[in-house]
Amino acid sequence: MTTTNTILNQLIIDKSKCEAARTHLPSFDRNQLKHGIVHLSVGNFHRSHLAYYMDILASEHNQTDWGIVGIGVRSFDKPMSTVMKAQHGLYALVTKGADENDVNVRIISSLIDYIFAPDEPENALAVLLHPDTKIVSMTITESGYDLDMNNVDIQHDLKNSDKPKTVFGFIVHALDARRRANEKPFTVMSCDNVQQNGEVTKRCILQFAKGLNNPQLTEYIETQVTFPSAMVDRITPGTTDADREYVRSRCGIADGWPVITEPFVQWVIEDSFCNGRPPLELLSSSPYNVLLTEHVEAYECMKMRLLNASHTSMCYLGYLMGYTYIHEIMLDKQIEIYIEQLMNIEVTPTLPPVPGIDLENYKRTLIERFSNPHIKDTALRVCMDGASKFPKFLVPTIVEQLKRGNNPHFCALSVGAWIRYLGGYDEQNKPIVLQDALAVELKLSELAAKTKPGAKQILSISQIFATLGENPQFIEAVERVVQLLYEVGSKETLKRWIKEAPTQK
């Protein structure tokens, strides 16, 4: 059995630099760590959030039942699979604050195994069936919950219980096998930015299960499996070669896939687990900020309508302006005014009361987090999957403001900037590579290329904009934004839009 020290000796290539960086090394016997959690679709966010929390529980609270087995489900998970297997799940988590000296380095060791499901579907199913598996978590992005039962991989999974290809196929077939073996089910836990993500996950799971025409399985899932909703938060960009070199030269660690993130982390989760859970109450204080509650909705609403909506709103306009990174976008004072006005005037009045949260302080903290120059979060990363983000992050605010008789002026700017971005070329006439499966499926770029007429057609897509395509006032505002963006450019459009902002009722 490979020991933790053996793996660390492979990772740490310069002990003096590692010590100088005050790197936190694993402080528990990793061989005693059971896999209480299986995580589907391991990405950087999972490794900065849930895996980090479980590492804290193991190292500082001697909790050894909640190690994690990661499963890569998609073909593009192969590169991470190769690295994680070579490093036996160990990796460097580097938190960077706004001050260049505010750096913390930690070797995370809670990820005790990694399975690449396309090559090892039997092993992936076996670990899901194992009685030690109490929780199955997932990060599949917002678009991952747009379940299409006619999708070729979903159709494959309905017919092949032994070799599934999708997250929902693995979960449902594993639950069915546990049901037939009289094993307790596992909790299914979404860690994605989706309002009521527990209920959304449950609907997807039941939709897939009903496709199997197995009433006993459907009843088992409905009555015995729990799906806690959660609000998760930590800004975590993708790993770059510059990050790898930073970890090597600054920390003396040769990590093929380190994670760079911010100091802030938060997790508000519904206390609804059908087969045990980690003692998350041990992580309730700062800097961990974990809250177990019966009601997550207000926290989800706050985070998605303030953080995610602001992130989404700034990225398209900032990209059109020629900025690469989120912190560069926030250095533009006009953008900062725009985001503050969006949050204060249009979003905040629509929020329910959020227990224990000072909203004014929360919003100030968001501006500081967006402005952190050391995270190097790219606008392009945040621009991904806009067609799946707008219905969850911005449309609820727009609908509520229109219902109150207000003009969601800055929301219209956000939508218009996205439609301009969908047009396929930036303001220097360079092509934009669209990373948005739903937008491609709906042929939104073709519609957006029609400029002003295209805006109305896109707003009429109820899958994204609900009934906003029936509101002449909002259509007119968005069409004007798109027209201005093409005629005078993003900077001048933003300047005019701020100047024309109406007074809300």
Which pLDDT belongs to residue 505? 54
Amino acid identity, position 152: V
CA angle 359, 365, 369 (to 5 degrees): 145
Q: What is the mean pLDDT of residues 19-48?
A: 95
Q: ω into residue 258 within 30 of 0, thus cis?
A: no
Model-wide pTM > 0.85: yes
What are 412's two structure tokens?
Answer: 């219209």
Q: What is the mean predicted confidence (pLDDT) over 266-282? A: 98
Tens of pLDDT, residue by residue over 222-248, are 999 999 999 999 999 999 999 999 999
Please give the pLDDT value at position 449. 84
- Can you list the domains of the chain with their CATH numbers? 5-293 (3.40.50.720), 296-500 (1.10.1040.10)
CA atoms of 147 and 140, how far apart (whole Å)? 12
Residue-wise pLDDT for 355-394, tens only, equals: 999 999 999 999 999 999 999 999 999 999 999 999 999 9
- Torsion angle of C-alpha atoms 324, 325, 327, 328, degrees rounded to 10: -10
Instruction: Give, in order, the Cα–Cα distances in Å from 504 to each of 386, 395, 401, 471.
Output: 27, 18, 9, 18
> CA–CA separation, 387 vs 496, rounded Å?
26
Please compute the mean of the pLDDT values over residues 415-439 and round it to a whole number.
Answer: 94
Per-position b or e across 366-392, b if 16+ CB within 10 A of its CB: beebbbbebbbbbbeebbbbbbbbbbb
345-364 residue pLDDT tens = 999 999 999 999 999 999 99
Three-state SS at 12: strand
Once rounded to an integer, what is the mean pLDDT over residues 308-330?
97
Q: How confident is the model over 155-168, as a mean pLDDT?
A: 96
User: What proportions of the chain, in percent to the nearest 5, are helix, strand and coil?
Assistant: 55, 10, 35
Report d(CA 420, CA 487) in Å as an integer: 11
Per residue in 178-219, pLDDT (tens digit) is: 999 999 999 999 999 999 999 999 999 999 999 999 999 999
- Amino acid identity of 357? I
As a whole number of angstroms, the distance between CA 348 and CA 340 comes to 10
Q: So what's the pLDDT on residue 84?
A: 96
- The CA distance from 215 to 21, in Å, is 56
- Whether the Cβ atoms of residue 75 and residue 119 lie closer than 8 Å to each other: no
* Of 45, 147, 116, residue with least CA distance to 384: 45
- β-pairing, 259-261 vs 103-108, is unpaired
pLDDT at res. 454: 78
Q: What is the pLDDT of residue 323?
A: 97
Q: How many CA atoms lie within 13 A of 83 on its CB side?
A: 19
Please give the full DSSP string across 143-168, using - where no structure is assigned: GGG---TTSHHHHHHHH-TTS--SHH
In whole angstroms, give the CA distance from residue 229 to residue 191: 8
How many Cβ atoms are within 10 Å of 342's Cβ, its own excluded?
Answer: 25
pLDDT (tens digit per residue) in 76-128: 999 999 999 999 999 999 999 999 899 999 999 999 999 999 999 999 999 99
Distance CA 442, CA 457 (A): 11
Model confidence at 504, pLDDT cuts 50, 70, 90, reads: low
- Count of beta carbons in the 10 Å neighbourhood of residue 104: 16
Residue 1 scores a pLDDT above 70: no
Residue 458, token pair as written in the block: 């896109």
Residue 11 amino acid letter = L
Backbone torsions φ then ψ of 251, nearest 5 degrees: -110, -10
Beta bridge partners of 92: 107
The CA distance from 394 to 200, in Å, is: 18
Does residue 142 contact residue 204 with C-beta atoms inside 8 Å?
no
CA–CA separation, 5 and 29 (whole Å)? 10
pLDDT at 19 over 60: yes
Rg (CA), the chain: 23
Q: Is 260 helix (H, G, I), strand (E, B) or coil?
A: strand
Give exposure, 31-64, as e/b (b: 16+ Cβ within 10 Å): eebebbbbbbbbbbbbbbbbbbbbbbbbbeeebb
Edge to edge, the sheet with strand 259-261 lists 103-108, 91-96, 259-261
Q: Where are the alpha helices (DSSP H) in 280-407?
A: 297-302, 309-321, 326-331, 333-341, 359-370, 379-383, 386-393, 395-403
Q: What percent of the chain has a predicted confidence (pLDDT) above 90?
A: 94
